[in-house]
Amino acid sequence: MRILKIAMLAATLLPLGSYAALGGAPSMDASAPTMMLRSVAPDTPSAAAYTVRASQTTYGVTVREYVLPTNVVFAVTWDGPVRPDMNALLGSYFPNFVSSGNGHPRGTGALIERNGDFQIESAGRAGHFFGKALLPRLMPANVHIEDLQ
């Protein structure tokens, strides 16, 4: 009986959808449907420059993780009817996202912020939100921001 109570408590406290935090390891949540979309090879045939993993939250948001061979997420993109949990998605870079408004209140309008270490583009309207966040210093040499869909 005690184990059942602990399991029920854990199920209510754990998030429903899980994905990688920017700059961290990719998500390993077995409950979230995840699929490897593709590996993109660099000019040298020794290894892939990065892989793309996609998962969908319970709210219908598709999150794509761009993962280096060193198992670090250098970019994430999202597309869906609501914004994903930005705190979970951006991890330690979330304070940069919050302070991007430069002290001005931010609503649901578009946000494009680029500084040396962190870039984010987030836009949308009710029923359709999309965006991308990346760490330019970690991006492979032949990858362009436009390549991240």
pLDDT tens digits along 30-76: 444 445 455 555 444 445 688 999 999 889 999 999 999 999 999 99
pLDDT at 13: 35
Average pLDDT, rounded, for the chain? 73
Taking the whole predicted model, whether its pTM rises above 0.85 is answered as: no
- Which residue range forms the structural domain that includes residue 72? 18-147
Residue 2 domain flag: no
Residue 7 domain flag: no
Q: Kindly give, in sequence order, each residue whose CB lies less than 8 Å from that of residue 32, ignoring residues fewer than 6 positions away.
A: 17, 18, 19, 55, 56, 57
Whether 84 has a pLDDT exceeding 70, the answer reads: yes
pLDDT at 18: 46
Banded pLDDT at 3 (limits 50, 70, 90): very low
Residue 119 domain flag: yes
Alpha carbons 144 and 136: distance in angstroms, whole number: 10
Residue 133 domain flag: yes
Residue 68 domain flag: yes
Residue 112 domain flag: yes
Banded pLDDT at 86 (limits 50, 70, 90): confident
Domain count, the chain: 1
